[in-house]
Structure 1
C-alpha cells in the first residue's frame, strides 16, 4: 500500500495537479484558457470511452455486469441522502446548500475515474471495460435524490427552475460529459480492436500528457476554490469533504465483496462512489437550485475531495480492494 501510494504521489499526473494547486494558493497568474481546458476534458472522455467500448466488444454481457450496474445506480441514489444527513447533523450548512452539495457526492468525477484507471494500468491490475458505462449511469440519479430532499423539507411552491421547458432534463441526461462518454463507448464497441488501432496514435499514446495538462488546470481550479470559498465553511463541513469519500468507498467495498468482484473492478467501483462531481452536477444545480452557493459545493467537491482522492484515496481504495480479494 505504501509503495502504491508513493508511486501515485510521485507520478507526473499528481505532481502537475499539485503544481496547479500551489500556484493558485500563492495567487500566481498562471492560467489555462477555458476553451482549451474543455477540449482536454472532451479528449479524455473520448479516449477512456473508446477504450472501454473496445473492451466491452471483446467480452459478452454477464450476470455480474448487470449486478454492478444495479449496485452503482442504487449507490448513486443512496449516497446523496447519507451525505445530506451528515452535513445537516454536523455543520451549519443550510438545507438547500446541503442538498446541492449532497448531489455532488452521489454523482461521479470522471477525471478521478481516469486517474484510477491509469494507476490500475501502471500497477498491472486488470479491470472490465464496462466500468466506463457504469460511470455514465451514476451521473444522474444523485441529482434526483437532491431535488427530492429539498422538496420534502421545504414544500417548494414554485417548480424547479428550468423544469417547465425541460432544461433540467436536458442538463441531467444530455449533458456533454455523458454524451461524449457514452458516445465514445458505443463507437469503441462498434469498431473493436481493429478500429482502435487506426486512432491509437491520437487516443492512446498522448493520453498521459493530456491528462497531466488537464490536472494542472484542475489544480488551479481547486486552489482558487479553496482560497475563495473556505470562509463560508466550518471545520465540520471541510471534514465532510474527506470522510464522506471514505464512507462511500466503504459501502462500495462491501458491495464488491458480496458480488465477488476482482480487485480492478472493485477499485473502480469504490473510486466512482467516493468521487464527487464538479462538471455535470454543478451545471444541473445552477438550473435546479439557483439559490444554492457554488462557493460551498464546488469548494468541497473540487477543492477538498478531489485532491484527497487523487493523492490518497485512489491508492487506498486499490489496497483495500486487493485485501478484500484475499479474504473473499
Structure 2
C-alpha cells in the first residue's frame, strides 16, 4: 500500500471537513447545515457529476467495453447482497439482514463523487459511462434484498408489488437526477456545456467539502445508536466492503484496462447506500430498522472508504 497516497487522502480538505462535523457533534456544538441547503448541495453534486459524465460519454464511441462494464456493474450489485444476506441472518432478523444486504449491494452516490475527486488528485480520469453504471447498480440490490426477505421471512412481509418496487428504485430522486443529468449532458453540445462550466466544474470541490461537513454532523449523531447494535455491525461495516473493494479491484482487469474505471468499480463495490435503500425499505419492508443499516453505511463504511479504502483499492489496481 502507498502510504504517501494514504497521507494525502487523510489531509484532503473534504475529508477533514467530514471529521470536523463529527467533532462538532461530540463537542455538542450548535454547528449545522440548514436542511434545505443540505438538500440543495446534494442535488447539485448529483447534477454536476451526471452532467459531466454525459459530456464524457458523448465524446466516446459506443463499444463492447461499455456493454461489459454495465453487465459487470449489475452482476456486482446482484452478488454482494446475495452472499451478505446469509452472513447477516446469523446475527440479525430476516428483515434487517435483507435491508443491510441491499444497502451494501447498492451504491453510494456521494462516495462515487468523492472517488472522482480522489482520482483527479492522482491525475487519473474515468469514462463517462461509469456514471450510467453507478445509476444502474441501485435497483438490482434493492430487489434482491426484498426477494430474500420474502423467501426466508416467517412473518407476513409488506405486500409491495415488484413492479412498484422497481419503479420506486428508478424514480428515487438521486437516481432520477443523476440519470437525467447524464442524458442532458450527453445531448448538450460542447458550446452549450461551456456556458454552465463554472457551475458544474469550478464550484464542485467547495460544495463537496460543505456537503461532507454535513455528512459528518449526521454521522456523529447516529454513532451512539449504532454501537447499541453490537460489535458485529461495526466489523461487518468495515470488513465486507473492504473485501468487496479488493476483490473487484483485482477482478476488474478482466473487464477493462482503464485504471480510473477499475478504481471506480472497486469503490462502487465497497460503498453502501444510505439514500436510495432506506427510502425503498421504508416502503417495502417497514419492519427493517434503519437505526442499524443507516449508521453502518454512513457512519462506518463511508468514512472508512474515503480515508483508507480508496488508497488501498487504487494501489491494488496499479499493481494488478
Normalised by the length of structure 1, the TM-score is: 0.93
Task: Give the secondary structure class of the aligned counterpart of 2:33.
Answer: coil
- For 1:302, which of 294, 298, 320 is the aligned residue? 298
Pick which of 178-187 and 148-157 moved more. 148-157
1:7 Cα deviation from its structure 2 partner: 1.2
Check whether the contact 1:107–1:139 (CA below 8 A) recurs between aligned residues. yes
User: Mean alpha-carbon deviation: is it higher for 92-101 or for 215-224?
Assistant: 92-101
Q: Which moved more, 1:273-282 or 1:185-194?
A: 185-194
Answering whether residue 17 of structure 2 is matched by residue 16 of structure 1, we say: yes
- Comparing 215-224 with 191-200, greater Cα deviation is found at 191-200
Whether the 8 Å CA contact 2:250–2:316 is kept in 1: the answer is no
Corresponding position of 1:248: 244
Matches of 2:137 and 2:46, distance apart in 1: 15
Equivalent residue for 2:117? 118
Could you list the per-position Cα deviations for residues 219-264 of structure 1 after superposition, in whole angstroms to 9, with x for gaps in the alignment? 1111111122211x22122100000111211332243121243211
> How far does residue 167 in structure 1 lie from its aligned partner after superposition?
5.2
Please, what is the CA RMSD of the aligned residues?
A: 1.5
What is the match of residue 136 of structure 2?
A: 137
Per the alignment, residue 150 of structure 1 pairs with 149
- 1:102-126 Cα offsets, whole Å, 9 max, x none, are 1000110011111111111111112
Helix, strand or coil for the counterpart of 1:204?
helix
What's the CA shift string for 1:89-112, capped at 9, x where partnerless? 4xx322211111110001100111
Match of 1:228 in 2: 225
Number of the residue aligned with 1:56: 57
What residue is the counterpart of 2:195 in the other structure? Answer: 198
Structure 2 residues without counterparts, runs of 5 or longer = none
* Deviations, residues 170-198 of structure 1 (Å, cap 9, x unaligned): 42110111111011111111114222211
Partner of 1:108: 107
How many residues align structurally? Answer: 319
Check whether the contact 2:263–2:313 (CA below 8 A) recurs between aligned residues.
yes
Q: Which residue does 1:311 correspond to in 2?
A: 307
Superposition deviation, residue 2 in structure 1 = 1.2
CA contact (8 A) 1:71 1:255 kept: no
Cα distance in 1 for partners of 2:119, 2:291 equals 33
How far the C-alpha of 1:301 sits from its partner, in A, is: 0.6
SS at match of 1:283: helix
Query: Which of residues 293, 299, 302 in structure 1 aligns to 2:289?
Result: 293
* Cα offset, 1:84, TM superposition: 1.3
Q: For residues 278 and 145 of structure 1, what CA distance do their matches in structure 2 show?
A: 17
**TM-score normalised by length of structure 2:** 0.95
Provide structure 1 residue ranges, at least 5 long, that are not aligned to the other structure: none
**Cα separation, 2, equivalents of 1:25 and 1:97:** 28
- Output the CA distance in 2 between the equivalents of 1:260 and 1:190: 26
Q: Secondary structure at the match of 2:105?
A: coil
CA shift for structure 1 position 156: 5.0
- d(CA) in 2 for partners of 1:244 and 1:48? 27
1:160 is displaced (CA, Å) by 2.6
Q: CA offset at residue 159 of structure 1?
A: 4.6
The Cα of 1:157 is off from its aligned counterpart by 3.8
Cα displacement string for residues 201-234 of structure 1 (whole angstroms, at most 9, x for unaligned residues): 1111111100001000111111111122211x22
**SS of structure 2 residue aligned to 1:302:** helix
8 Å Cα contact 1:25-1:227 kept in structure 2: no
Change in 2 beyond 3 A, CA 1:120/1:158? closer
